[in-house]
């Protein structure tokens, strides 16, 4: 009977029965106490629910003035729209129901409306998910979270779904609102639907939060835009028509995000129930493949979602925060090796977000007031003064090269990013010229030397974003709508692209992408590119770059050293070790101040080439002289010749001469090898000056340089081993006759 009575109560509450009310039966309590919805700079909604139908009045205290807002008709559920407010103000309000039978205390600070602030003003809000009891079967963890949240006095809260275990059970909703009563009376709640709230359409969540009738919505606070999305079970029962690229929800999101006001705002924040990306939980393939590119394309800064833990990660310049420690059981699954997190914790917690004009700080705080994680992000909107005008930079730093085809041939524009590598020179000075003549095409090549200035790397990242590709390969070539990275891609695709252009030049040009027209936040692209790196990937890149043709010069010099010092294992070891250590240390120094060193080397490239060959020939000559010396001394040539050659050999085998010689040659070769560095190396050295990434950048740089030198080190120790074995006398055992 009790269950039947409760069901009848729910029906009466939701459908606003028109039965008359006996005043003697009216309860003196709210079924659900007042809570705030849809607060903006000028208005707010005061919501509450009663046991019986009543007319109600909400009084707004504005200094000495009292403004009254009344319901249109008696009801049990009320959503009273308050208007005419001023931004950034605090108003006390009082709710009076019937003839005052049910009401809140007058001028009680527990019931306040704090309107949204203006642009440039600071504010704080709180985020948490899964506040339901769950397997704990108790609200005690949720209560502790709310106690700590109240102490932080947020302007509003984002609730990431799963507010109750069974969204169709009114008692559970009453318990939820009772726990949050002291918070929601003056901090607006902005929720999204969780699967437990929805219960396959049987949940009551939309009756308490009318904004969720459609499932998704947008609001603005200060200069931050928020987008609550409807993804309550994207891995299971939720219809894909609500989630795919053709869904009304995603079309709406793109239309909202693409607005100039949104793109020019300080921050764009998305919040939803299901994780898009997560390491210790379950993510959705459709959210990763369809929604994540939209977030990236429209410069979303933060994505909040819920799972039973805390986790922070970054992908494509977007921070993904998992905050599901609001009350339900905590879950700690095995880590996904394909997706790494930057911070994680298995604690009941909430996230406090402090927004200022120049920064937004996100802190995960547990129920003991321990800060589990804290980080700060800067605005990445289009109009920020810190974003360089890449189009102007491109025009300033690029070198324009015109390659003539046949008379009257069509003109194809190419953007080429290169360094001083041999294939880069071959491509610019031979391959493109040959293809232009072969396909009767004139070329306008905009050439960018990555070694000249850090902003050229920004241009490369911006072009990659324009063409929809971020890869690792030098040279990088952009034309039409295609991007090719590295020697292999260029050789496999460039001729086909020329042929496509030749077939219909006008259509090709009309559909071509023009880079640098869109202002890109390359700082975030750099961070994202760097965050994707791993120690294995860095080691592999260093090893591959170490076997490029440019490094062969180092090997030749080392071999010449080995021939020169072959007669003395001790001198060989010291000289070779000096050579290798010098190269490694110089590689580290060059990496730490890459662009300054690269610019000097680039400006002195022709002088460096002369020095390189003079030194190489000198070492080879010395090696030959040393070898002749040994041969002649073994054959007992004239004492005079032997004496002169032996003195010359001993001179260069003397440690005091060998060590400085090895140091100088190692330094010169290290500078020359700069052209052999690939794009992953660029990803590392550009983050050296970033305080947050400096320590990891230095580690990556050390590993990369070690891997880069491995071929040289390998050959060195192979020949050293051979010399040692040659010097070791063979021991023969003489057989005795018995």
pLDDT in tens, 35-93: 999 999 999 999 999 999 999 999 999 988 999 999 999 999 999 999 999 999 999 99
Within 10 A of 413 (CB to CB), how many other CB atoms are there? Answer: 15
The SS3 call for residue 517 is coil
pLDDT band at residue 627 under the 50/70/90 scheme: low
| pLDDT of res. 152 | 95
Alpha carbons within 13 angstroms on the beta-carbon side of residue 459 total: 30
Tell me the domains of the chain and their CATH numbers: 1-116 (2.60.40.380), 118-386 (3.60.21.10), 390-524 (3.40.30.10), 535-727 (no CATH)
User: Is the Cα torsion angle 563, 566, 569, 575 positive or negative in sign?
Assistant: negative
* pTM as predicted: 0.58
Residue 548 scores a pLDDT above 80: no
Cα angle value 172/173/176 (rounded, 5°): 90
Q: Are 466 and 512 in contact (CB under 8 A)?
A: no
Q: What is the mean pLDDT of the chain?
A: 81
User: In this predicted model, what pLDDT tens digit does every residue of 330-356 receive, in sequence order?
Assistant: 999 998 877 888 999 999 999 999 998
User: In this predicted model, what pLDDT tens digit does every residue of 108-163 receive, in sequence order?
Assistant: 999 999 999 999 899 999 999 999 999 999 999 999 999 999 999 999 999 999 99
Strand-pair category, 399-403 with 360-366: unpaired
User: In this predicted model, what pLDDT tens digit does every residue of 175-201 receive, in sequence order?
Assistant: 999 999 999 999 999 999 999 999 989
| pLDDT of res. 562 | 56
Higher pLDDT, 647 or 259: 259
Residue 312 scores a pLDDT above 50: yes
- Distances from the Cα of 683 to the Cαs of 229, 421, 536, 595, in angstroms? 34, 18, 15, 13
| pLDDT of res. 462 | 85
| Lowest mean pLDDT, pick from 25-34, 312-321, 355-364 | 25-34
- Widest CA span in the chain: 133
Residue 628 scores a pLDDT above 60: no
Going by C-alpha positions, the residue among 518, 591, 619 that lies closest to residue 299 is 518
The SS3 call for residue 274 is coil
The span from the CA of 461 to the CA of 465, in Å, is 6
Backbone angles phi, psi at 721, to 5 degrees: -65, -40
The span from the CA of 605 to the CA of 608, in Å, is 5
| pLDDT of res. 529 | 76
| Lowest mean pLDDT, pick from 194-208, 473-487, 563-577 | 563-577
Backbone angles phi, psi at 349, to 5 degrees: -160, 175
Render the burial of 707-730: b for 16+ CB within 10 Å, e for the rest.
bbbebbbeebeebbeebeeeeeee
Instruction: Kindly state the average pLDDT of the residues 641-650.
Output: 48
User: Is the Cα torsion angle 301, 38, 150, 205 positive or negative in sign?
Assistant: negative
pLDDT band at residue 648 under the 50/70/90 scheme: very low
| pLDDT of res. 674 | 52
The span from the CA of 638 to the CA of 645, in Å, is 11
The span from the CA of 338 to the CA of 84, in Å, is 52
| pLDDT of res. 28 | 57
Going by C-alpha positions, the residue among 411, 405, 393, 485 that lies closest to residue 448 is 393
Higher pLDDT, 9 or 454: 454
Residue 602 scores a pLDDT above 90: no
| pLDDT of res. 579 | 72
């Amino acid at each position: 009977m009790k269950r039947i009575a409760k069901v009848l109560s729910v029906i009466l509450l939701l459908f606003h029965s028109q039965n008359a009310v006996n005043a003697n039966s009216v309860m003196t309590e709210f079924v659900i106490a007042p809570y705030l919805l849809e607060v903006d700079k000028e208005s707010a909604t005061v919501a509450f629910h009663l046991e019986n139908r009543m007319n109600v009045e909400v009084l707004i205290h504005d200094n000495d003035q009292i403004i009254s807002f009344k319901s249109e008709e008696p009801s049990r559920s009320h959503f009273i729209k308050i208007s005419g407010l001023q931004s950034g103000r605090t108003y006390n309000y009082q709710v009076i129901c019937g003839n005052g039978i049910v009401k809140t205390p007058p001028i009680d600070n527990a019931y306040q409306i704090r309107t949204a602030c203006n642009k440039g003003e600071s504010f704080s809000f709180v985020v948490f998910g899964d506040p339901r009891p769950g397997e704990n079967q108790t609200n005690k963890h949720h209560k502790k979270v709310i106690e700590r949240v109240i102490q932080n006095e947020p302007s509003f809260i984002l609730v990431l779904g799963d507010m109750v275990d069974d969204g169709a059970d009114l008692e559970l909703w009453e318990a939820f609102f009772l726990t949050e009563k002291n918070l929601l009376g003056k901090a607006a709640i902005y929720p999204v639907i969780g699967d437990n709230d929805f219960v396959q359409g049987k949940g009551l969540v939309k009756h308490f939060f009318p904004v969720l009738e459609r499932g998704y919505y947008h609001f603005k606070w200060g200069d931050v835009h928020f987008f609550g999305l409807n993804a309550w079970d994207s891995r299971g029962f939720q219809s894909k028509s609500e989630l795919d690229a053709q869904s009304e929800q995603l079309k709406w999101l793109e239309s909202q995000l693409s607005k100039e006001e949104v793109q020019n705002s300080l921050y764009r924040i998305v919040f939803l129930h299901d994780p898009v990306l997560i390491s210790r939980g379950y993510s959705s393939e459709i959210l990763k493949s369809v929604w994540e590119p939209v977030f990236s394309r429209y410069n979303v800064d933060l994505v909040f979602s819920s799972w039973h833990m805390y986790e922070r990660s970054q992908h494509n310049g977007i921070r993904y925060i998992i905050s599901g420690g609001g009350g339900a059981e905590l879950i700690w699954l095995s880590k996904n090796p394909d997706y790494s997190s930057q911070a994680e914790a298995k604690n009941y917690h909430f996230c406090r977000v402090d927004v200022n004009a120049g920064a937004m700080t996100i802190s995960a705080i547990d129920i003991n007031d321990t800060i589990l994680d804290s980080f700060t992000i800067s605005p990445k909107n289009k109009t920020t003064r810190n974003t360089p005008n890449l189009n102007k930079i491109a025009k300033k730093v690029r070198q324009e090269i015109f390659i003539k085809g046949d008379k009257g041939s069509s003109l194809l524009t190419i953007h080429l990013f290169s360094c001083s590598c041999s294939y880069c020179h071959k491509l610019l000075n031979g391959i493109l010229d040959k293809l232009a003549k072969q396909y009767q095409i004139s070329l306008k090549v905009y050439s960018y030397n990555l070694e000249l200035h850090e902003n050229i790397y920004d241009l490369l990242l911006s072009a990659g974003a324009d063409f929809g590709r971020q890869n690792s390969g030098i040279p990088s070539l952009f034309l039409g709508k295609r991007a090719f990275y590295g020697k292999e891609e260029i050789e496999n695709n460039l001729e086909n692209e020329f042929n496509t252009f030749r077939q219909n030049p006008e259509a090709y040009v009309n559909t071509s992408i023009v880079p640098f027209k869109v202002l890109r936040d390359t700082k975030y692209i750099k961070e994202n590119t760097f965050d994707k790196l791993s120690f294995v990937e860095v080691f592999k890149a260093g090893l591959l770059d170490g076997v490029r043709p440019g490094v062969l010069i180092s090997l030749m010099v080392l071999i010449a050293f080995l021939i020169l010092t072959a007669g003395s294992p001790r001198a060989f070891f010291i000289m070779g070790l000096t050579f290798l250590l010098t190269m490694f240390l110089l590689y580290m120094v060059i990496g730490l101040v890459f662009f300054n060193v690269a610019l000097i080397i680039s400006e002195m490239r022709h002088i460096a080439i002369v020095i390189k060959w003079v030194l190489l020939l000198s070492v080879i000559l010395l090696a030959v002289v040393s070898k002749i010396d040994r041969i002649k001394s073994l054959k007992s040539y004239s004492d005079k010749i032997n004496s002169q050659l032996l003195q010359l050999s001993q001179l260069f085998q003397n440690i005091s001469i060998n060590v400085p010689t090895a140091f100088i040659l190692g330094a010169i070769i290290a500078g020359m090898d700069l052209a052999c560095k690939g794009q992953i190396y660029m990803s590392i050295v550009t983050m050296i000056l970033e305080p947050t990434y400096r320590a990891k950048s230095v580690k990556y740089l050390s590993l990369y340089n070690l891997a880069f030198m491995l071929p040289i080190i390998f050959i060195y120790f192979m020949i050293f081993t051979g010399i040692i074995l040659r010097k070791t006398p063979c021991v023969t055992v003489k057989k005795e006759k018995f």
